[in-house]
Amino acid sequence: MTRGSAAEKENGSESLAIYYHALAPSHVLIYRLVRLRALSECPSQFCSNFAQELAFKTEIWLSWLENSNSVTFIATSQTLLGHQDALDSENWSHPTQFEASDRFHYGLISCLQYSEEDALLAGLWVSPFARRYGIAQALIEKVITWAREYDGKRNKFKSVILHVYRDNLLARRLYERCGFVDVCTTSNGPEELRYVYFL
């Protein structure tokens, strides 16, 4: 069953009704739709790309949601009932097939086991039109809570880690506000930093 929560957030004179859901395997097409939207809107944020993941079979998407050592949350303007557009997305071939009517998907984040003691935050995205409503911070808090409550086969997680480019100052400030600290560079070179949240 989907674990969902709702919140009303204001940005100036506008407000959004925001629902947060932990996705289950039954939501595989919704996951695919939101992830493809993220790749189409903000391609520079990801190591992967729209064309590559568009070609993935449903079984690949399903395997990610069936992994008991990971979780994916989405932020949306409605519950997960219906979603005909998720079914229609199986026939997409180009990112321009997204329309304004699809814009009830606000954000996405995943967290997975990185080592016996560490969880990895990955794939954070908030649609440009839905920014400044606190969605990114709320999604980060969701995965931190999941990591803190995670009961693995051997050990509890001791930290949540993430990788971010040194020149991505907006993202770095966001992570620091959420309690992450910059601990070192990564094996990918001096331009990529590792941030850690100690649980």
Read off the amino acid at residue 44: S
Rounded average pLDDT over 93-113? 72
pLDDT for residue 101: 47
pLDDT for residue 62: 93
Q: Which has more pLDDT, 28 or 180?
A: 180
Rounded average pLDDT over 48-61? 89
Q: Tell me which of 1.10.10.10, 3.40.50.150, 3.30.70.890, 3.40.630.30 is the CATH number of domain 3-198.
A: 3.40.630.30
Strand segments, DSSP code E, in the chain are: 3-11, 14-22, 70-76, 105-113, 118-126, 159-165, 181-186, 189-198
pLDDT for residue 10: 55
Q: Which has more pLDDT, 56 or 84?
A: 56
Q: Which residues contact 13 (CB under 8 A, 6 or more apart)?
A: none
| pTM of the shown model | 0.84
